[in-house]
Every structure is written in C-alpha cells, then in structure tokens.
C-alpha cells in the first residue's frame, strides 16, 4: 500500500511539473519574443502573422503608420480576449530604407503629434501619457455600429535594431481587461529574451 501511495505521489508531482512547464514554454501559436497567453487575461483565440496589420484610426496623419512596420523582422500575434478586447503584440526591425529603429520612432512621434493637435470629426486622438521617456503611444476613439471603439497603442525600443508595439482595441461599454501601457514592459522583456 505504501509503495502504491509513493508511486501515486511521484506521478502527481511529475504531472504538476509538466503542467507548470506548459505555462512558461511558448506554444506553436505564441511565437517567442511576443506576449504569451500567460501574460494576458483569458484568451479565446490567437492569430499569428508575419504581415503588418495596424488598426486604423480616424486621424489621416496615421494612415501611413503600417508602412513603418514593414521589415524582415516583423512578426505579430493577435489575442482575442474573453471580454471581447483584441490585443496585438508585435516586434519589428527598422522601416524600409533604414538600418536603425530610431527613424521609425522619429516619424511615429511626428504623426502622433500631428494627430494630437487635430480636431477630428468622428472621434478623438490623444498621446498616451502613461509611458516612460523614449516610449511612444496614443489612445484613439471612434464611433462605429457597435458603439465606441477605443484603440490604445504603445511602442518601445528593444535596442537600436528592434522595437515592440502593443495594441489593445476595445469596443462598447466598460473598460478593457488590460492596457497597452501596462503590457509594454512585459513585451519588451519577451523581445529581449528571444
């Protein structure tokens, strides 16, 4: 009887360790360097891509933002959360025609400044203030058939060659379960460790 209990205890411990291992190891649908399921509230679906897809805003100055994401190093994962929010985690290299990430941030800063100083017909656009020096971001709202859509996007440099961006899109009433600003440090850490 004691032997059976010992075997059962060892088996239970092994299964528990394996389960813990699953939490930290990236799954096939969670590329290394990007946010992982364990970094987010309940995730219902994941889409992985190596093609830039940027959530549009109502500010015309941001329409070329997706061009800045085009790079050989670009990869992205979109997480559909149980509360209906969408979280996009991306990592990118320098924009086309550059070998450093700095020009991308210079152009992004100019676009964000232009939009933040513009009165928009169908929504609002503001700088994201909850960021540290050297990081960029914005919060844009627009009305659609499902209510108010709030897009929060934050960018941070990983090094001279790479940057991360985190986007949270929430539509309707209430607040999203997470914010891009809160997820950004984890995104930088994931990209740094990849």
Which CATH number does the domain housing residue 144 bear? Answer: 3.40.1000
The answer to whether position 17 is within a domain reads: no
Residue 87 placed within a domain: yes
**Which tops the pLDDT comparison, 27 or 124?**
124
pLDDT for res 151: 94
Q: Strand pairing partners for 48?
A: 77
Domain range enclosing 86? 29-193
Dihedral angle, C-alpha 99, 104, 106, 107, nearest 10 °: 130
pLDDT tens digits for 112-127? 999 998 888 888 999 9
In this structure, is residue 18 part of a structural domain?
no
CA 97/CA 103 separation, integer angstroms: 10
Tens digit of each residue's pLDDT (9 = 90 or more) over 147-174: 899 999 999 999 999 999 999 999 988 8
Q: Give the DSSP H/E element, type plus range, for residue 32.
A: none
Query: Which one has a higher pLDDT value, 29 or 128?
Result: 128
pLDDT at 97 over 80: no
| Mean pLDDT within 14-20 | 35
Does residue 117 lie in a domain region? yes
Task: Measure the CA angle with vertex 140, ends 137 and 145; round to 5°.
Answer: 150
Residue 8: inside a domain: no
Q: How confident is the model at residue 18 (pLDDT cuts 50, 70, 90)?
A: very low
- Residue 175's alpha-carbon distances to 69, 84, 167, 172, in angstroms, are 28, 11, 15, 9
pLDDT at 3: 37
* Beta carbons of 97 and 156 less than 8 angstroms apart: no
> What confidence tier does 17 reach under pLDDT thresholds 50, 70, 90?
very low
Total domains, the chain: 1
Q: What is the mean pLDDT of the chain?
A: 81
Residue 94 lies in a domain: yes
pLDDT more than 70, % of the chain: 81
**Which has the closest alpha carbon to 188: 163, 161, 168?**
163
Distances (CA, A) of 37 to 27, 40, 137, 171, 188: 9, 5, 23, 21, 16
- Residue reference for tokens 């994401």: 69
């Amino acid at each position: 009887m004691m032997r059976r209990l010992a075997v059962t205890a060892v088996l239970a411990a092994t299964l528990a360790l394996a389960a813990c291992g699953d939490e930290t190891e990236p799954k096939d649908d969670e590329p290394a360097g990007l946010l992982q399921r364990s970094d987010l509230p309940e995730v219902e679906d994941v889409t992985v891509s190596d093609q830039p897809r940027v959530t549009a805003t109502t500010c015309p100055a941001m329409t070329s933002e997706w061009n800045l994401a085009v790079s050989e190093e670009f990869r992205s994962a979109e997480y559909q959360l149980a509360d209906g929010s969408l979280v996009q985690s991306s990592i990118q290299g320098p924009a086309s025609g550059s070998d450093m990430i700095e020009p991308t941030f210079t152009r992004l800063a100019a676009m964000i400044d232009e939009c933040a100083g513009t009165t928009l017909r169908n929504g609002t656009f503001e700088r994201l203030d909850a960021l540290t020096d050297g990081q960029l971001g914005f919060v844009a709202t627009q009305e659609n058939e499902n209510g108010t859509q709030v897009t929060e996007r934050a960018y941070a440099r990983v090094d001279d060659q790479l940057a991360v961006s985190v986007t949270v899109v929430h539509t309707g009433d209430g607040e999203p379960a997470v914010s891009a600003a809160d997820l950004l440090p984890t995104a930088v850490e994931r990209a740094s460790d990849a």
